[in-house]
């Protein structure tokens, strides 16, 4: 009788776990015979449990299941044996298996390992055109993560812990067993006669996570045996508070932003807590580590340079800068500011291609002009009697000069840009119509006095039309 009850309990237990996994996945993606799922498979208890559950679901729905195994190459022969056991399990259960091995010499750190794993999972998802990537994070992992962040220092966002779903370069990463503690995962594996790998490095307490798992959590459980649930409750509270804060922040953002720029002075009058929250979100959205130190560094830089007319830049990563001026603050991405090194010769009025990105025109004009374009326009009217062909289209160079419209004398182009409040990082993007070193038209900024004409009908109309976003 006891054996029968135990067997029934195991059936119920398996069904419950399978239904939970299925329901969590279906919250984010559809499950059908046309679906493909990548499961991060180390061969350990957690990933073995998840892969086994997904294998049962695949037999029910007919989707493609792929086990993705990354050998970090830290433990030599032991790692190779683990990979072999993972392969054998997949062959026995007719599961597609894909693996890769990291090169030797990479830093053996938790952060490096995590980054490499997710890079590998993304490549697998791209190769198989997967609907989602599934990782075997558990309730115990979540509790340990929250505690780790508390120890290291975190805000409300960090207290949310491991999220059930996240985006990875266009692919959803779903954690379907996040509601189960490690105890239940191990029980599932034992009762389903699964034989997971036992990674020897999991017992090495030099790694912070292992230290928390083997030393700190057991010590806390002496005080609070229910610490895992307490930490998950804390995460739920933090998540709820963040939703309220984010709704309020959306209204505040509307008051301080113009497109992807923020109005510097409007931002600075916010109270410090709102500025910190706003900066946290901004750093995260730009793929940067939102540490307290980085947030303070950026806020201090904005405060110190809020009166700069042409603006100052702060390097925040290898390919990103923060630009601050008295008017705007925004992030500058290096790939958006690739200088055009090409040039085009303009031999006479007509149409010309420039750098594969622009169409430049000098057209005869027969119509009177009642209102002339502003300097920031990408077309202009001109008298070319004082201009000698050939002319050149290019970007700025040392020694460039200009005679601004309405002025008698000439000045360096750099000073002209400063007077026009053009940020340093924008100056290399400006297309110039030149006669040797003399600038006749800084397109989108202003024209030279040499373009001046008398009468209602200017002889020529000049235009620059963008045809490609390759370097924008």
Residues 144-163, mean pLDDT to the nearest whole number: 88
pLDDT of residue 335: 66
pLDDT of residue 9: 62
pLDDT of residue 137: 96
Residue labelled with tokens 């057209």: 363
pLDDT of residue 324: 92
pLDDT of residue 317: 79
Phi-psi region of 73 (alpha: psi -120 to 50; beta: other; left: phi over 0): left
- Asked whether residue 328 carries a pLDDT value surpassing 70, the answer given is yes
pLDDT of residue 76: 74
pLDDT of residue 156: 81
pLDDT 10s digits, 409-431: 999 999 998 888 888 778 888 99
**Residue 341 banded pLDDT, cuts 50, 70, 90:** confident
Phi-psi region of 324 (alpha: psi -120 to 50; beta: other; left: phi over 0): beta
Bridge-based pairing of strands 411-412 and 401-402 is antiparallel
pLDDT 10s digits, 33-71: 999 999 999 999 999 999 999 999 999 999 999 999 998
User: Percent of the chain, pLDDT > 90?
Assistant: 52
Contact 44, 72 (CB under 8 A): no
* Pure H helices in 192-226: 208-211, 217-223
Token code pair at residue 460:
């020529």
pLDDT of residue 470: 44
pLDDT 10s digits, 270-326: 999 889 888 888 888 777 777 788 889 999 999 999 998 888 888 887 778 888 999
Domains and CATH numbers, the chain: 2-228 (3.40.50.620), 259-336 (3.30.465), 344-466 (3.50.40.10)
Q: CB under 8 Å to 372, separation ≥6 — which residues?
A: 381
- Asked whether residue 437 carries a pLDDT value surpassing 70, the answer given is yes
Residues 76-81, mean pLDDT to the nearest whole number: 84
pLDDT, greater one: 108 or 165: 165
Range in 101-110, 148-157, 291-300, 430-439 with the lowest mean pLDDT: 101-110
pLDDT of residue 312: 86
CA atoms within 13 A of residue 6's CA, in its CB half-sphere: 6
What integer best gives the mean pLDDT of the chain? Answer: 88
User: Percent of the chain, pLDDT > 70?
Assistant: 93
**What backbone phi and psi angles, to 5 degrees, belong to 69?**
-115, 125
pLDDT of residue 223: 96
Distance CA 383, CA 452 (A): 6
pLDDT 10s digits, 381-419: 888 888 889 999 999 999 999 999 988 899 999 999 888
pLDDT 10s digits, 221-264: 999 999 999 999 999 999 999 888 888 888 888 889 888 888 99
- Asked whether residue 471 carries a pLDDT value surpassing 50, the answer given is no
């Amino acid at each position: 009788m006891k054996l029968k009850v135990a067997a029934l309990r195991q059936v119920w237990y398996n069904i419950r776990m399978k239904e939970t996994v299925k329901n969590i996945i279906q919250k984010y993606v559809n499950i059908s015979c046309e679906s493909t799922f990548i499961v991060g498979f180390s061969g350990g208890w957690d990933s073995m449990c998840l892969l086994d559950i997904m294998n049962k679901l695949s037999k029910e729905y007919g989707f493609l299941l792929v086990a993705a195994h990354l050998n970090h190459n830290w433990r030599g022969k032991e790692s190779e044996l683990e990979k072999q056991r993972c392969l054998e399990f997949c062959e026995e259960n007719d599961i597609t298996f894909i693996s890769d091995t990291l090169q030797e010499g990479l830093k053996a750190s938790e952060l490096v390992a995590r980054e490499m794993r997710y890079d590998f999972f993304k490549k697998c998802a791209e190769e198989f055109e997967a609907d989602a990537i599934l990782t075997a994070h558990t309730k115990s992992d979540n509790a340990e993560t929250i505690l780790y962040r508390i120890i290291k220092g975190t805000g409300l966002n960090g207290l949310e812990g491991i999220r059930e779903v996240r985006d990875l370069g266009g692919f959803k990463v779903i954690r379907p067993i996040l509601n189960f503690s490690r105890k239940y995962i191990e029980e599932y594996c034992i009762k389903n006669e699964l034989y997971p790998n036992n990674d020897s490095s999991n017992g090495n307490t030099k790694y912070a996570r292992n230290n928390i798992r083997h030393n700190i959590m057991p010590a806390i459980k002496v005080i609070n045996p229910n610490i895992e649930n307490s930490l998950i409750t804390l995460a739920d509270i933090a998540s709820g508070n963040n939703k309220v804060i984010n709704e309020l922040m959306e209204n505040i953002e509307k008051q301080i932003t113009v497109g992807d720029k923020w109005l510097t002075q409007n931002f600075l009058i916010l109270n410090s807590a709102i500025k910190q929250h706003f900066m946290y979100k901004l750093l995260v959205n730009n793929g940067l580590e939102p540490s307290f130190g980085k947030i303070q560094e950026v806020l201090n830089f904005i405060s110190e340079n809020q009166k700069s007319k042409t603006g100052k830049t702060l390097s925040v990563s290898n390919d990103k800068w923060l630009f601050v001026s008295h008017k705007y603050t925004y992030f500058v991405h290096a790939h958006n500011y690739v200088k055009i090194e090409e040039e085009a010769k303009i031999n006479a009025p007509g149409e010309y291609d420039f750098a594969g990105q622009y169409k430049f025109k000098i057209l005869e004009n027969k119509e009177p002009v009642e209102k002339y374009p502003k300097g920031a326009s990408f077309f202009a009217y001109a008298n070319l009697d004082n201009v000698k062909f050939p002319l050149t289209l290019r970007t700025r160079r040392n020694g460039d000069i200009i005679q601004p419209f309405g002025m008698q004398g000439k000045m360096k182009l750099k000073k002209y840009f400063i007077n026009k409040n053009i940020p340093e990082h924008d100056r290399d993007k400006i297309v110039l119509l030149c006669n040797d070193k003399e600038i006749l038209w800084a397109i989108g900024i202003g024209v030279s006095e040499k373009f001046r004409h008398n009468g209602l009908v200017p002889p020529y109309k000049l235009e620059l039309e963008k045809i490609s976003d390759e370097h924008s």
